[in-house]
Structure 1
Amino acid sequence: MPGASILFAAAIWAHAALAVPVARSAYAVKETHYVPRRWTLKGRAPKHQMLALQIGVKQGDFDALERNLYEISDPDHARYGQHLSHDEVNTLVKPTDEALDAVHEWLLSNGIGEFDYSQAKDWISVKISVEKAEELLATEYSVYVHQDGTEHSRTTEWSLPRHLHDHIDTIQPTTSFMRARTNDVGGERQLKKRDGPWPPADYQPPTDPAIARACSINGTTPECFKTLYKTKGYKQKVAGKNQIGFNNYLAEVPIRPDAALFLQKYEPSAVKGAYEYKFISIDGGPYHDGPSTPTELANGTDKEANLDVQTILGMTYPMPVTAYTTGGEPPQIPDEAAGDPPGNEPYLAWVTYALSQKKPPQVISTSYGDDEQTVPIAYAKRVCSSFAQLGARGVTLLFSSGDHGVGNAAGNDASACISNDGKNTTKFLPSFPASCPYVTTVGATQNFQPETAAYRPADSLGPDGALHAYYASGSGFSDYFPRPSYQDQAVKSYLKKIGSLHKGLYNTHGRGYPDIAAQGLYFQYFWNATNAVISGTSASTPLTAGILALVNDALISSGKPTLGFLNPWLYKKGYKGFTDILSGGNGGCNTTGFPLTEGWDPVTGFGTPIFPEIVKLAGGKC
């Protein structure tokens, strides 16, 4: 399938020519951002390197969009479930003519006459050289190298004419050093002959015979999840109307033959699903239908994509599934002759495409994230506001919470938990987009009866006889986004319980996450035609998405609206349909992390789903 464009060409010449020219004003700094740790300056960026600039024009009435979002997501409001249409959302966020005219005049006066709009016209895309971008933004681009070898052309400061400061929220790539990464910890440090205790000494076998038969610490399967979360036996009624989707970044591609092998072994009735799911390539995302390529195998890619598609198909077949694969890494190309540059940071590329669709899937899972502090706050807020637009249209967006506890960095190393404020302050590191208040963030559990928070020390022996990496369900409080009203009571109650623990290491006024959790340890999956196990909130998130998609099936067949943006309902009444997790570990930054408590906590949220209870609380029938 050819790549799907995320933007559509806008014929603006007549409009711009008729616009009243805005008097040119002096330039002033619009944004500065420190270079994050682990990035090193290499040298000036090549002048002829091409950039795909994304200009975030100030939205017309986001406050009204947010008000609508909360009203239609509040189970006690008269408008609950009355999701907005594609056109209604675009009308609310479309920039004013004044803003668009001012930006057009600025671009045209700088000799830039070709640019594209998003459908709501709140993003403008411009393809220009580094040399031209430096002139346009009164800045200098340099090449920065991450310790893993990733290179980006970025700047630490850029400017705009003063009269545009109120009309433009953000422009990227400029100061963004984000590197979307998978939230899975499947890679073994080394293989060895098993010589330690297995299962672990603290493992408690299930006492429920059905769970004991279905679930094994040696590797979980769809049969286990269906039994544990009580979807087993549910017959879908409106699979054609109800859909689910999941995102892939970093050149990840779900491999159909691997999915078929997984389903043949663990869910034979769903084997056809391996070849029936829809594949959409966005912004140059890779696509193929056969086995992994030699390059993919050598790089170990496609493990995350395989985990997602196999988990979702195992839970939801015959529900239609859409796999999105989005390019955008890196957001520059070598020279002018290289053709169209790939898009910007991948979350924006994907959400812009999703917003252009009349009927996106009702539940969409994303198992990627990055340090919040590597993302400029203005850009993070605009991407987050785009997630709100999807929520207002009735889409449930799930993001994984991360796999390194409060640190969002590999291992339990305090040296990695350093602020990006120029002062090198030791602190907990929240993750983005997990910290966005308009998405539902998913943590991880392990064991079965009882389930506990997912935690595994470094070099722990696994069921495959390998030593596995450190792993703790991601958790934290945003430094960018204030605590939303829907979770005010739950978070205040938790903070009162823990008192001064870790005082000064996190923002007590920030949006807390995760919101809910699900199994996230030792999932059975296939990669390169080989059965193995993999762990992470990358596993918890597609699993939760599958369960919530089944809830939507029950709601639609009962004549009820789909769940949509989940959180206001979840924090007001939906939490009663989840099993509270009361034990297990956390960690990160060489600390004990956040403790689990009764009720919501920033490790497993409100806990794990109980399918029939969620359906009942949402007004449907199983």
Structure 2
Amino acid sequence: MCLGFSRLHIRTSAYLRLLSSCFPLSPNRVIFSIPVLFSSLVWSGYLEYDQDVLVTEDWTHVGRVEPTEDLQLTFALKQQNVKLLEETLKQVSDPDSAQYGKHLSLDEVSSLVRPSLLTQKVVHHWLQSHGIRNCLTVHTQDFLQCTMTAEVAETLLPGSRFHRYTRDGQSVVRSSAPYSVHDDVHQHLDFVGGLHRFPAKRQEVIKEQRLSKAGIHLGVTPAILRARYNLTSTDVGKAHNNSQAVAQFLEQYYHPADLAEFMSIYGRSFQHLSQVDRVVGTQGGGKAGLEASLDIEYIMSTGANIPTWVFTNPGRHESQEPFLQWLILLSNMSGLPWVHTVSYGDDEDSLSTAYMMRINTEFMKAGVRGISLLFASGDSGAGCKHLGKGQNSFRPSFPASSPYVTTVGGTSFKNPFKVTYEVTDYISGGGFSNIFKMPDYQVSAVTGYLKTVATTLPPQSYFNVSGRAYPDIAALSDNYWVVINRVPVPWVSGTSASTPVVGGMLSLINDQRLLKGLPVLGFLNPLLYKLKGQALFDVTEGCHASCLDEQVQGNGFCAAPSWDPVTGWGTPNYPALLAALLVD
């Protein structure tokens, strides 16, 4: 039985197979063969031919968008010198390089990657020929954000069909089919944003715990973190030119009153700030979000007394992709915080390769400027993708799988009521990318792990043994206390907690480097992997969750001595890590 094509529920490669089966060659019908049609998809303007346009069941289809309704689309123009940008990032991030720490300014990055005059001319002419003149650019001139009607958008981007979908009170406009661009423009664009990529649904993890009268503590608080990671009351920010940030998406807001209440309860033993320094974006007035509250309260606990920004990108314009909007902001602001933590991710296989490659370039642009980007590894263990009857594979997450960010996994206390050593939190995301090759900085560490645990690894058909492996580092991710809507809430878990905790400690180390006149850490991974676990608590117990089937019985990957794809190199021993990273 053949599916209708008014709503495309499959990746384009599968779409092509379906075309072949539904429309066999006959004397009365002309149809491209699969290779020819695939070639035409790739070379006749389909920028994101492998983009998953699946509309998941949690989204409700409302109807077609009116032709006169305004949409906002983002055009990612081809950049110049991407290979040189990558080489520059390696040099400024490698402590053995003479260029280490010599980060670039936004103007210098712009001069390096700015699209060619030909690219700018062709794209602008293409848009103007369709009557589109309401466009904004960014400092680096590699993004254009344009407003147009749905009718114009569908003419501009053949194949696109804009529909409205709703979920939990949130409304988005997306195309139900792949889009193409004119052949003359294809080589000048990476992708067009605002057509695909439904917002991922957040998984806020609250685990029920039994309270123990004999327990020393009943959950993770700033005091517990400081005790475990050896932060003293004097380990607080002092530099005037230091700052840190968290990024929030999808109607996730914090409340200033919650932050003040949290610090009044849990911040009594160390100097701290009780207000956010700056909000970039629109701060909503509804109920506080658990995610936003968790991120801000804990980055300001470990990164105590350091000015903190909140980037809030609600995606209120229905055709925006809020994660993309955040990246565009980074391309357009010169004075940014040095550490950014992000608790956001999508399955790799739900995104087009073109989109992920361009996002990687945006991460490189941040890294060469000295910005440290930390992403949560996710809360689904190794992940699980069902390939067919009785067939599964692990499912890596992006941006966690990007080679150009530092990815943070999660741990639990061995005894949940005592400050003991840490073991793997079974939800901690980790694994191997199916898209990005293993970067040079981690080859030795990952190869060592694969050899050490060779006899207990999951079947290699489940993961890409040569892909970028993650996470890189970890911290406690289980049983946190969070103040939300003025009420302390226990048992909050997830790598959304461990990521700002690590981010705050890196901000403290930046603080000490700045006081000594040293450059900030920037992209941390090359240095982190050269430390080979020095100054970190190695996590060697526990496994994370994965597919449950006849081949993989309950576990994905397991922790092991040194690096592993569940907890990375381990969790921070702050004074030792400060000493290791406080070198020129």
Question: Which category describes the TM-score, using the shorter chain as reference length?
Answer: 0.7 to 0.9
Matched, 1:29 2:46: yes
SS of the residue corresponding to residue 160 of structure 1 reads coil
Q: Summarize the alignment of residues 359-398 of structure 1 with structure 2, pairs less than 5 Å apart.
A: 359-398=335-374
Name the counterpart of 1:403.
Answer: 379
Q: Is the 8 A contact 1:181 1:368 kept in 2?
A: no
The correspondence of residues 292-371 of structure 1 with structure 2, limited to 5 A, is 293=286, 296=287, 301-328=288-315, 331-332=318-319, 344-371=320-347
Q: Secondary structure at the match of 2:140?
A: coil
- Aligned equivalents of 1:366, 1:29: Cα separation in 2: 30
1:519 is matched with which residue: 444, 457, 476? 476
The yes-or-no answer on 1:418 pairing with 2:386 is: yes
Partner of 1:175: 196
The one of 488, 498, 502 aligned to 1:531:
488
Identity of aligned residues (%): 34
Partner of 1:49: 69
Whole-angstrom CA distance in 2 between matches of 1:265 and 1:373: 43
Counterpart CA distance in 2 for 1:237 and 1:266 is 18
TM-score between both structures, scaled by the size of structure 1: 0.79
Instruction: Please state if 1:38 is matched with 2:56.
Output: yes
Partner of 1:19: none
Letter paired with 1:395? I
Alpha carbons 1:273, 1:318 under 8 Å: kept: yes
SS at match of 1:545: helix
In 2, Cα distance between equivalents of 1:423 and 1:246: 41
- Cα shift at 1:314: 2.1
Name the residue aligned to 1:618.
Answer: 581
**Partner residue, 1:13:** none
Bigger shift: 137-146 or 585-594?
Answer: 137-146
Structure 2 residue identity aligned to 1:397: L
Go from structure 1 to structure 2 and tell me whether the alpha carbon gap of 1:358 and 1:37 turns closer, same or farther (over 3 Å shift): closer
- Unpaired runs of 5+ residues, structure 2, are 1-42, 414-418, 549-553
Query: Which residue is 1:483 aligned to?
Result: 438
Q: Tell me the equivalent position of 1:273.
A: 273
Change (3 A) 1:181 1:246: farther
Alignment match of 1:609 (pick from 572, 576, 579): 572
Cα gap change, 1:222/1:51 in structure 2, threshold over 3 Å: closer, same or farther? same
What is aligned with 2:5? none
Higher relative contact order (CA 8 A, sep 6+): 1
Task: Output one character per residue of 1:195-247: Cα deviation in whole Å (capped at 9) or x when no partner.
Answer: xx6559xxxx9xxxxxx96xx2x211111111211121434463321111111
Alignment of 1:96-175 (within 5 A): 96-143=116-163, 145=165, 151-175=172-196
My pick for the range that moved more, 148-157 or 495-504, is 148-157
Structure-2 change in CA distance of 1:501 and 1:199 (3 Å): farther
Moved more, 581-590 or 514-523: 581-590
The corresponding residue for 1:585 is: 543
Partner of 2:254: 254
Give distance in 2, aligned partners of 1:370 and 1:588: 17
Number of residue pairs matched by the alignment: 525
Give 3-state SS (helix, strand or coil) of 2:99's partner. coil
Give the AA of the match of 2:484. W
Q: What displacement does 1:176 show?
A: 2.4
Distance 1:144 1:38, change over 3 A: farther
Q: Which residue of 2 aligns with 1:453?
A: 424
Aligned CA-pair RMSD: 2.6
Q: Which runs of 5+ in 1 are unaligned?
A: 1-25, 189-193, 206-211, 333-343, 408-413, 456-471
Deviates more, 1:58-67 or 1:612-621: 612-621
Counterparts of 2:399 and 2:329, CA distance in 1 = 17
Q: Distance in 1 between matches of 2:290 and 2:113?
A: 37
Larger mean Cα displacement after TM superposition, 474-483 or 120-129? 474-483
What residue is the counterpart of 2:558 in the other structure? 595
Secondary structure of 1:406's match?
A: coil
Q: Is the 8 A contact 1:430 1:477 kept in 2?
A: yes
Task: Give the conservation status (yes or no) of the 8 Å contact 2:244–2:307.
Answer: yes
CA distance in 2, matches of 1:248, 1:261: 20
User: Equivalents in 1 of 2:60, 2:461: separation in Å?
Assistant: 31
Asked whether the equivalents of residues 239 and 514 of structure 2 are also in contact (C-alpha less than 8 Å), the reply is no
Q: CA deviation at 1:449?
A: 2.3
The alignment's TM-score, normalised by the length of structure 2, stands at: 0.84
Task: Give the C-alpha shift of residue 502 in structure 1.
Answer: 2.6
Change (3 A) 1:229 1:620: farther
1:542 aligns with 2:500: yes
3-state secondary structure, aligned to 1:170: strand
Counterparts of 1:126 and 1:237 in 2: how far apart (Å)?
41
Moved more, 511-520 or 149-158: 149-158
Whether contact under 8 Å (1:258, 1:529) holds in the other structure is: yes
Residue 182 of structure 1: CA displacement?
A: 3.9
The whole-number CA distance in structure 1 between the counterparts of 2:167 and 2:565 is 30
Q: Give the deviation of 1:588 after TM superposition.
A: 2.3
Q: Deviation per CA, 1:414-439: give whole Å up to 9, x if none.
A: 6xx236xx999622111121111111
Question: What is the identity, as a one-letter code, of the residue corresponding to 1:286?
Answer: Q
For residue 281 of structure 1, report the CA deviation from its aligned partner: 3.5
Bigger mean CA deviation after superposition, 132-141 or 237-246: 237-246
Q: Does 1:87 align with 2:107?
A: yes
- Conserved 8 A contact 1:554-1:620: no
- Match of 1:426, SS state, is strand
Q: The residue matched to 2:460 in structure 1 has which SS? A: coil
Aligned to 1:234: 234
Distance (whole Å) between structure 2 residues aligned to residue 225 and residue 388 of structure 1: 31
1:560 pairs, out of 505, 518, 524, with 518
Alpha-carbon distance in structure 1 between the residues aligned to 2:97 and 2:390: 45
Match of 2:402 in 1: 436
Q: Would the aligned equivalents of 1:186 and 1:535 in 2 still touch at CA under 8 Å?
A: yes
Residue 497 of structure 1: how far off its partner (Å): 3.3
Q: CA deviation at 1:256?
A: 1.4
2:99 counterpart of 1:69:
no
